[in-house]
Structure 1
């Protein structure tokens, strides 16, 4: 509590960034129910109802100080999404008044889910709007040291009330526990890409956002993973989420890697068994993915301590392999290990592969043996070999309940060079509609499937070869027959002229470029900054032609000297940093 008679020091007043301690949990959640288990957190496939929360009494103290709807909502989450039992304390003249204030803040019904990017934390979450049929995917690009894992650019897909691409969560034992070192914390157990059969460099502080946007039935997150591997110039993942209807969505998953001699895209699913199409697999007799003579858990390529920098392959068993392949699919039937769903519940994840690989392997991994965790999960590893590799892994992820909603998926062409990747993909839906998605690493022209684009991301949905919906993101033109979407510019670009953080409720960014008359509130401004953290911020308001507000977000990165606060702060962005605000447009045929 504050003591009004003493005003020399005030934690809340003197350190405005402290305010975000009371709202930070919201930035880690997906779909208001789940905080992904990045690093040493949670248990494999475990889901709650609130995601990460802070202690209730702490949140009540924060609400007394700040009194905002955002903090009131976190009070509600901390109390298990209910208001029963919330009251003031013996020092309040009217203890019930606090509950009445919180109730007043929460009086309105929540709106549709909205995708959000937490740059300081390092998590991009794409969420379909439906609250009746929640579904979304998160990609992690934050810290990997300490209690973190080698999980840069890993994904966590939540659909049909189950975690479909589960992280391992907290290790069974900490310290120099061999399985923690060679499996649970190692890149090999995570849904990301391994390069040169090594673990990721944990000293890399954060990835950086390249694109984050939401328009119509399409939303996209494109993140550069940073320097997690030496001699690798590109380590980047782009996710495009497309809504089919109010119930279903699919994802186009592109992983771009330049450099190295082998690239392994690691993919698991929330179940121990899979069905495949388009693959001819041969079972290996005994052993592990490290070889038929290497036993499960046997450290064959390094010490079983924190100096280990090997493959982790000895923790993958029941190995089946295929030679070169390109167009195939793997379907996981999900487990519901925590037994909270009805008896007839069923869910699947089908992964459609659309890019050439030199080897496909299916293996079994064993999560930490906590009560309720799955006993085993099936993994797929797709590998490319070569010298100075440029790899674009192209996949479509189809989460469904009992019947697939996709009839076919095919590649309509790709781009792959030292400076640009790109892909064109056709998805035919079970009801006969046909989607075409065009995407490029850098803005430019691309044409396929009856669709022409000048931009980064283009989408068109056809019914009987007639366009019925289009989306253009960071582009100037998208055309299908006589239907054309145009934007006067693909993005607002410029440099940071300065900022004003005097109002803790709304940090203002001063830009050297005049802003368009169209509203930018709800879009993201993305800086090309030199500091270690990502610098992408949601624009909450447009103040004038050169000023945007980013709400209570703090620009403070850290102290200049943590032993001498008087030396001030280092900031995440600096005057002169370049920025981009991607623009988008969507169209839907009205009958």
Structure 2
């Protein structure tokens, strides 16, 4: 299995949690099917009063399997009286005489979704199936798993009104609360099953982990509603067509998660993500976890530890980081590092880089990363204390916070506190070296002294 977590709590000013966790689970080959797998998608969001979780497959044939739908509604998802393409939520750009840029439009985009239908019943049985219009053997099934207060909507939109006018069907899971109520917290879950001719998933079940006063314990979903406990994670059980099962646990709380599957001893873990595969006799045959220290299946316990260190030197042009480990941290097996994701952090930002090579130089671990450490370039117009003025358009300004400003010789000059799309940079302190108008400066995604870590990962197969 593999896991990817994207955390962006400051995406909206009203969100305190905005996190996507994707878990890819491999399915063993058969004589007639190879290279199979599926993805469990967890989306956690807290803040605001309306949450929309949108998914879609390719253009082509769409089939709604299971569930009963209300008749299509007039208008668009934005409302029965909102026309297709009407900028109803941006009066400036929506004005008839507007001739400026639409680049910073921050509306919903709901005015592009038509033929809106809402699920009447059967949320637990509904499956969306897509068959690609250019390849009938490229197919996808999507299951959006129910949660209390969730509404499921389907609608259509053009890929591009002019260049690619074909319609694609969207699924939108929506949860809302009244504006005068406390902020909304949602945990959306979906299972995405790509296949060529025959699907391999027979059934999917969602259970929620609940924080009690004593420990994290599992209850059925209906019991959660009655008890009004806080959901702190999810367990998704995927039953394959051959009778084997995968249990995917996604933990979002500081406490260890405990889940008891049917006909199984309890599973306990402090990992952010864990996967246990069971054969038809309910015996564990695979185990995986990431971002924790242990996974216990009954009396059997699997453990792993993360690696932590600090950057001691950089070779920017070569993409190399020299790292000295903290305390008693053991240097990992170098052969296991290529392909792993290295986490870098300072007080302003967290970022990641994929490792392509690993060697040792004395006490240092030397890691080569895949992507360029130079992530931005600005042409300086003027400097005022902690302000750098530039006319360079920084469209990816949000990623520059916490980067290191360097000259062409890769000499570090300052740390970026804030960047604006207009090109202005605010530094944490005045530059340590001279910066002249007309000079080009790099923004580097690493710095000497920054903390690095390799999260604990364990993979076991019987």
Choose which of 371, 379, 389 in structure 1 pairs with 2:170.
Answer: 379
Q: Report the Cα distance in structure 1 between the residues aligned to 2:73 and 2:271, rounded to whole angstroms.
A: 50
TM-aligned CA deviation for residue 462 of structure 1: 0.8
Q: 1:285 to 1:466 in 2, by over 3 A?
A: closer
- Aligned residue runs from structure 1 range 327-338, under 5 A: 327-337=124-134
Aligned residue among 380, 393, 404 for 1:562: 380
> Is this contact kept in 1: 2:67–2:123, CA < 8 A?
no
Runs of 4+ more than 6 Å apart: 416-420
Map of 1:547 onto structure 2: 365
Paired position in structure 2 for 1:351:
143
The alignment partner of 1:376 has SS state of strand
Q: 2:239 aligns to what?
A: 428
Does the aligned pair in 2 maintain the 1:514–1:546 contact within 8 Å?
no
Q: Which residue of 2 aligns with 1:459?
A: 275
Post-superposition offset of 1:324:
8.5
CA shift, 1:572, in A, is 2.5
C-alpha RMSD of the superposition: 3.2
Unpaired runs of at least 5, structure 1: 1-217
Q: Which residue is 2:451 aligned to?
A: 578
Instruction: Tell me the residue number matched to 1:234.
Output: 17
Query: Is 2:43 the partner of 1:255?
Result: yes
Q: Could you say which residue in structure 2 is the equivalent of 1:398?
A: 193
TM-score, normalised relative to structure 2: 0.69
CA-to-partner distance for each residue in 1:457-487, whole Å, 9 max, x for gaps?
A: 2211111111111112233222223543222
Greater helix share, structure number: 1
SS at match of 2:111: helix
- Deviation of the 1:368 alpha carbon: 1.5
Asked if 1 retains the 8 angstrom alpha-carbon contact of 2:235 and 2:249, the reply is yes
Give the alignment of 1:8-23 within 5 angstroms: none
Q: SS at 1:314's partner residue?
A: helix
Contact 2:311 2:322 in 1 (8 A): no
Q: Which residue matches 1:361?
A: 153
User: What aligned pairs does 1:175-574 form with structure 2 within 5 A after superposition?
Assistant: 218-245=1-28, 246-271=34-59, 273-277=61-65, 279-303=67-91, 304=94, 306=102, 308-322=105-119, 327-337=124-134, 341=135, 345=137, 347-369=139-161, 373=164, 375-386=166-177, 387-415=182-210, 421-441=232-252, 444-448=255-259, 449=261, 450=264, 451-463=267-279, 464-487=281-304, 489=305, 491-494=306-309, 496-501=310-315, 504=318, 506-520=320-334, 521-522=337-338, 523-530=340-347, 534-538=351-355, 540-543=357-360, 544-551=362-369, 554-558=372-376, 562=380, 565=407, 567=435, 569-574=442-447
**Residue aligning to 1:36:** none
Distance 1:419 1:354, change over 3 A: closer
Rounded to whole Å, the distance in 2 between the matches of 1:290 and 1:425 is: 32
Work out whether residues 507 and 553 of structure 1, in 8 Å CA contact, stay in contact via their aligned partners in 2: no
User: Within 2, Cα distance between the matches of 1:301 and 1:503?
Assistant: 46
Given that residues 307 and 325 in structure 2 are in contact (C-alpha distance below 8 angstroms), is that contact kept between their aligned partners in structure 1? Answer: no
* CA deviation profile, 1:121-169 (whole Å, cap 9, x unmatched): xxxxxxxxxxxxxxxxxxxxxxxxxxxxxxxxxxxxxxxxxxxxxxxxx
Q: CA deviation at 1:506?
A: 3.5
CA distance in 2, matches of 1:270, 1:334: 7
**How many Å apart are 1:561 and its aligned residue?**
6.3
In 2, distance between residues paired with 1:235 and 1:527? 20
Cα distance per residue 1:477-524 (max 9 Å; x no partner): 22223543222x2x1234x25213177364423444454244152222
What 5-or-longer segments of structure 2 have no aligned partner?
A: 29-33, 213-228, 383-406, 408-433, 436-440
TM-score by length of 1: 0.55
Where is the strand percentage greater, Structure 1 or Structure 2?
2
1:254 Cα deviation after fit = 0.6
SS for the counterpart of 2:256 is strand
What is the distance in 2 between the residues matched to 1:321 and 1:552?
A: 44
